[in-house]
Structures are given as C-alpha cells and as structure tokens.
Structure 1
Amino acid sequence: MRDTQKILVGKIVAPQGIRGEVRIQAYSDNPADFKKFHVLSNRFAAEDFKFVRVIPNSTVIIAKIRGFDDRNAAETLRGTELFIGRDDLPALGEQEYYQTDLIGMTVNQRGNIIGRVACIQNYGAGDILELENGDMVSFVGASVDMDTKIIYVK
C-alpha cells in the first residue's frame, strides 16, 4: 500500500466455509465497493491482502484472500481490521465527503462553537458526532461547510 492516510473500511469477523473464505463486516454504505479495492492492509500495514473473489450482500461480504486457502488459515484473520489508502477511495462529487473528512472539524450549534469532532458513531438511529470533550450531538439535519471546516448542527 502506498504511504497515504489509511481509512478503515471493514473488519474480518469469521472464516466462511472450508476453502479459506472470510466474512467481512463492511463499514461502507455500499459493500459492493469492496470489489474495487485491489489491496487492503491491516492496521500496521505489515501485511497486504489481495482479494481473489468478493461477494457482497446486504449484511456481510464473503471474500477469498490470496494465500489463505483453508479454514485454519482464514481463522488467523479473525478480528483483522482492513484499511485502504485514502487515494484508493472512489472519487467524490461536489458537496460530497467521507466521514473521515469530518474528524477534527469544528462543530457550531446555534452560533456557538461546542467542540471538535473526535469520531462518528451510529447506533442505528442516525449518525452521532462524538466531540473531543466527550459530548455527543446528532448529525441528523446537519450541514457541512468543507471550505471552512465547520459542521452546523441543530
């Protein structure tokens, strides 16, 4: 993987079958994007993973990774987080952004600066911005100004 910002795109949750396939929990709105990712790395970039086959569905992705040819080998990957380089993400249109772009942005609520985004959570009812001070605020209905790096929330 090129030396670039790494973006977490999924996690291997279990082996699948006896031929070395794995089940991947995708952190993407479109699991089919995994078909476009040629090389992924683990957290430490110590190992690159190349997909031989990718079968996305609504809940998980079934994938075959080169060099992992049986269930025992696939089991060693359980819990591995998968990253791609920022440069490998699909291009965005105008007024589009990736969630990772929001990290570090200033949050403005009714004219008051309430903090900076530390991470984004989603517990099923919509995205929640977790601020560096530990506060949480709903991202539902928010607007993002990428030029000024400010998120306006209700």
Structure 2
Amino acid sequence: MKLPPSQPLLLGKIGAAHGIKGEVRVTTFTQDPEAIASYGALQTDRPGLTITIDKLRLQKNVAIAHIKGVTDRNEAEKLNGVSLFIDRDRLPPPEDEDDFYHADLIGLEARLETGVVIGRVSALPNFGAGDLLEVQDPQSGDTFLYPFTKAVVPDIRIAEGYLTIVLPRDAPEGEEEPD
C-alpha cells in the first residue's frame, strides 16, 4: 500500500523560540537533520501558512532554524507546534529496495514469522528512545508497540504490502526473569 506521489510527508515540527532574533528549534524527521532547510517552501498544518527555512544550524542534538520573514522572538513563539510538510513528489525516490520513507509503512500488514497477520501498521512514534512501530489489531482495535529495529522487524516488503515482526522470546515457563 503505497502513498500517492502528492501525499504530503511530515519533515519536522517547530518547537520553542530560540534567542531573541526570531530563531526556532526544529525537530527534524529527515535522515540528515540539515536537509529540511534545502527543500524551499514547506507546507504547514496551519491553513494559509507556508514556511521557508533560510538558515539552519545544529546545536548539540537540536536544529536551530531561522524562518524567512520572522524577525523577533514574539513572531517565533507563534510558530511553536507547527508541523512542516512537503509533497512526496518533491523528495528523491528511495535509492534501493531496502530504503523507504516511514510513511510507506503506514497501512502495511504486520505478520509474525509464521505468516499470521496480527494487524496493520498505524503509526511510527518516537518518544525519544528510538522509533517504534504501532500495530493496530483489526478485531479488537487495540494497538501494540514494537521497537522498530532490524531484530524485531527484519523483513519489510512494501511492494507486497507487509512486514514481518519477530516477537522477543519470553523466559521459559516456570523460570523468572532476572531483576
């Protein structure tokens, strides 16, 4: 299940103002954090608002951006929480079959190694400790989170519409897990 080429993809989210000259912190979802500034005008989740990052620098693990037309802290503070998008057709295609955009995973069937379908991928959240794969059970509606690592998700078949999840092995019955 691929997204149509014009489907907007989330590239980042503006955070708090930084300093007094209109700079903002940006959480980027691009492989290279500085790449977000190279795409020109970005769509936002605010109707009628388009943003262009004219300067960007990395400071420790945070991207600090200057938005074209924003000149002071008050204007920058108004942008806190704005999500930044780009139409998919403006992005380069993945270089090989093992490359993909996270958005390509949304809607894929999640299967166990045995081939049993356990649900569909509904999101890829990251709460700070790494990407997670959120899978929704179609019958109960419950969602389950799995670490999005090669060990847990060893096989991704976008063209075929599924990925494989390897569940962590529990301790044998009757044995307790070490503390």
Quick one: which of 91, 94, 100 aligns to 2:93?
91
Structure 1 counterpart of 2:123, one-letter code: C
Alpha carbons 1:20, 1:72 under 8 Å: kept: yes
**1:79 corresponds to 2:91:** no
Equivalent in the alignment of 2:174: none
User: Deviation at 1:83?
Assistant: 1.2
Identity of aligned residues (%): 34
* Higher gyration radius (CA): 2
TM-score (ref. length: structure 1): 0.87
The structure that is strand-richer by fraction is 1
Quote the RMSD (CA, aligned, Å): 2.0
Structure 2 counterpart of 1:90, one-letter code: P
User: Deviation at 1:100?
Assistant: 0.6
User: Deviation at 1:139?
Assistant: 3.2
Spell out structure 1 runs of 4+ moving beyond 6 A. Answer: none
Structure 2 Cα separation of the partners of residues 24 and 124 of structure 1: 15
TM-score (ref. length: structure 2): 0.76
Alpha carbons 1:139, 1:153 under 8 Å: kept: no
Q: Which moved more, 1:134-143 or 1:110-119?
A: 134-143
Structure 2 Cα separation of the partners of residues 58 and 37 of structure 1: 23
**1:131 corresponds to 2:135:** yes
SS in 2 for 1:122: coil
Number of aligned residue pairs: 152
Alpha carbons 2:8, 2:88 under 8 Å: kept: yes
Which deviations, in whole Å up to 9, do the C-alpha atoms of 1:65-115 show, x marking residues without a partner? 111111111111111111111122233111210111000001110220111
